A and B are shown apart, each in its own frame.
Chain A
Amino acid sequence: MSKRVEVEITVPNQTKYLGVIGRIGESMAYSLKSYNGNRRELAYHLNLVLTEALANAICHANNCDPDKDVKVSISASDQDLIIQVFDQGKGFDIEALAKLKAQAGDEGGRGIQIIFKLMDRVRYIQNDDRNVLEMTKYLN
């Protein structure tokens, strides 16, 4: 079994960093040597869930406050890939958000639902200092 690889990065609370973090997720997908599935699709999905989770942390949890930041951790083993996005906001009820189904004409409300569709386990843990949105993908 290979050793778990972990990347940690902290970015200012600005949406211009979405692309940078998304591309790191794509690169991680291409670096998973033991993954047997559709690598291109996994890369796109990791880019997407990172973008959605980071945008949620920046715009909603951190309320676009320029004095805050967002920490992102991506770690992978042969078995799974875990993404954690840490915000400094008041937290939210992710289960309630997941139950809200966006209607065809709704402009928003699809981000968290996309994350639930693409990842195998999603949980949001509220702490005193930082909350964490943790998303796990089982690889094989």
Chain B
Amino acid sequence: MQLNMTEQDDIVKISVEEERMDAHNSGDLKERMLQLFDEGKCSLIIDLSMVRFIDSSGLGALVSGFKNASAREGSLKLCCLQPQVRSMFELTRLHRVFEIFTNMDEALESF
């Protein structure tokens, strides 16, 4: 999975540069987030602007990151969801779990 990571004020911004997040590539994001947690970086924003499709494995990877960040008193937030990706969070009711922001600036300001 192609991930573009940048840091700003102890917050790691991860842009998922893939059209699809599915069972083929979502494990990569999960592993990368676990590495960040091991490095003590527990405040993450996942930018999903390039993701057109997400399945249950993609959602599961984000839930894993959310749980691990929360367990370390950090947080994982989402931004820039395309409408059909957003509909998946609503279908599975995960929009009640994640903080979802329209753009990156709003997500950054929320920390």
Contacts and interface: CB of A to CB of B under 8 A. Distances in A.
Dominant secondary structure at the A interface: helix
Contacts of A15: 22-24
Nearest to B67: A105
Interface in B36-51: none
B33 to A, nearest CB: 12
Interface in B4-33: 20, 22-24
27 contacts: A15-B22, A16-B24, A18-B22, A18-B23, A22-B20, A41-B84, A44-B53, A47-B53, A48-B88, A52-B55, A52-B56, A55-B57, A102-B92, A104-B63, A104-B93, A105-B97, A106-B60, A106-B63, A107-B60, A107-B61, A107-B67, A108-B60, A110-B59, A110-B60, A111-B55, A111-B57, A114-B55
Contacts of A84: none
Interface residues of B, number: 23
A104 B94 contact: yes
Nearest to A55: B23
Interface string A9-31: 00000011011001000000000
Nearest to B60: A107
B103 to A, nearest CB: 23
Contacts of B61: 107
Interface of B: 20, 22-24, 53, 55-57, 59-61, 63-64, 67, 84, 87-88, 91-94, 96-97
A114 B91 contact: yes
Given A104-B93, A114-B92, A48 B55 contact: yes
8 pairs of A and B residues whose beta carbons are closest in the complex: A15-B24, A110-B56, A55-B23, A107-B60, A111-B56, A104-B97, A51-B55, A15-B23
Contacts of B20: 18-19, 22
B53 A59 contact: no
A44 B93 CA distance: 18
Contacts of B92: 102, 110, 113-114
Contacts of B53: 22, 44, 47-48, 51
Contacts of A47: 53
Nearest to A15: B24
A117 interface: yes
